[in-house]
């Protein structure tokens, strides 16, 4: 069955969609020894979804350091507490690896925040925003993209919570893991659609759906 996707997704429809959550295993990483084992495992995988979280600042001009690096496969997500680990040797090894693709969204901002923890040379980072543009999708947020491609809602309720807390709440961990895992799902679906052409793009102009469709 051909998939219908939109050049622009109506944000008002997202609230009506069923919620999606990462249902795999979540592992919090605090020490360098734990990070070494986690990175060894992650670099044996074919593809990784990656995202970061930062404690929100409500003071003008003040930005906190990135507190969490979440890295997911289909069924496991490692949550690296960067506010405790910093740019450890294993974190640097993961970020600099050029073999395993690391899929994310708007990498420029994340890489800048990570670089504030320590110098590293980014290796094999893939930005979903570039790939969705290639098939005519203009939306760039993870929530809109997932709704567009899968008809499910990623809740952003936990985004502005304290990512430097001594212990992360279960809802925080699941939120962070879902964002990283969703990058894997979107990238694989984009590759499938590009290879098969099994989609119909509906072009939206000025938030109004037109009758003009493009089959690929």
Determine the Cα–Cα distance for residues 36 and 34; give it in Å rounded to an integer. Answer: 5
Kindly state the DSSP code that residue 101 receives in the 8-state scheme. -
Determine the Cα–Cα distance for residues 73 and 44; give it in Å rounded to an integer. Answer: 11
For 70-110, what is each residue's pLDDT tens digit?
A: 999 999 999 999 999 999 999 999 999 999 999 999 888 89
- Say what the pLDDT of residue 50 is: 98
Kindly state the DSSP code that residue 159 receives in the 8-state scheme. T
Fold of 3-202: Nucleotidyltransferase; domain 5 (3.30.420)
Mean pLDDT of the chain: 93
Q: Which two tokens stand for residue 22?
A: 């990462």
Residue 213 above 50 pLDDT?
no
Helix/strand/coil for 216: coil
Determine the Cα–Cα distance for residues 168 and 28; give it in Å rounded to an integer. Answer: 9
pTM of the model: 0.91
Residue 211 above 70 pLDDT?
no
Among 1-5, 28-32, 120-124, the least confident range: 1-5
Determine the Cα–Cα distance for residues 86 and 116; give it in Å rounded to an integer. Answer: 10
Query: What is the tally of helices (H) and strands (E) in the chain?
Result: 7, 9
For 133-181, what is each residue's pLDDT tens digit?
A: 999 999 889 999 999 999 999 998 888 889 999 999 999 999 999 999 9
Domain boundaries, the chain: 3-202
Residue 36 above 90 pLDDT?
yes
Residue 215 above 50 pLDDT?
no
- Say what the pLDDT of residue 210 is: 44
- Say what the pLDDT of residue 208 is: 53
């Amino acid at each position: 069955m051909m998939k219908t996707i939109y050049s622009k997704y109506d944000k008002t429809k997202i609230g009506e969609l069923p919620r999606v959550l990462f249902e795999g295993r979540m592992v919090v990483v605090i020490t360098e020894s734990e990070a070494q084992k986690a990175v060894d495992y992650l670099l044996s995988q074919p593809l990784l979804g990656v995202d970061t979280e930062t404690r929100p600042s409500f003071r003008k001009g003040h930005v906190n350091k990135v507190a969490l690096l979440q890295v997911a496969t289909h069924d496991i997500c490692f949550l690296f507490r960067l506010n405790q680990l910093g740019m450890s040797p294993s974190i640097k090894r993961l970020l600099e690896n050029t073999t395993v693709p690391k899929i994310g969204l708007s990498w420029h901002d994340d890489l800048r925040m990570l670089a504030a923890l320590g110098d590293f040379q980014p290796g094999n980072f893939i930005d979903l925003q570039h790939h969705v543009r290639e098939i005519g999708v203009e939306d760039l947020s993870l929530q809109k993209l997932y709704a567009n491609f899968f008809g499910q809602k990623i809740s952003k309720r936990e985004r502005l919570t304290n990512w430097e807390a001594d212990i992360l709440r279960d809802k925080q961990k699941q939120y962070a893991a879902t964002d990283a895992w969703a990058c894997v799902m979107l990238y694989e679906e984009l590759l499938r659609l590009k290879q098969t052409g099994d989609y119909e793009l509906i072009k939206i102009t000025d938030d109004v759906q037109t009758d003009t469709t493009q089959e690929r």
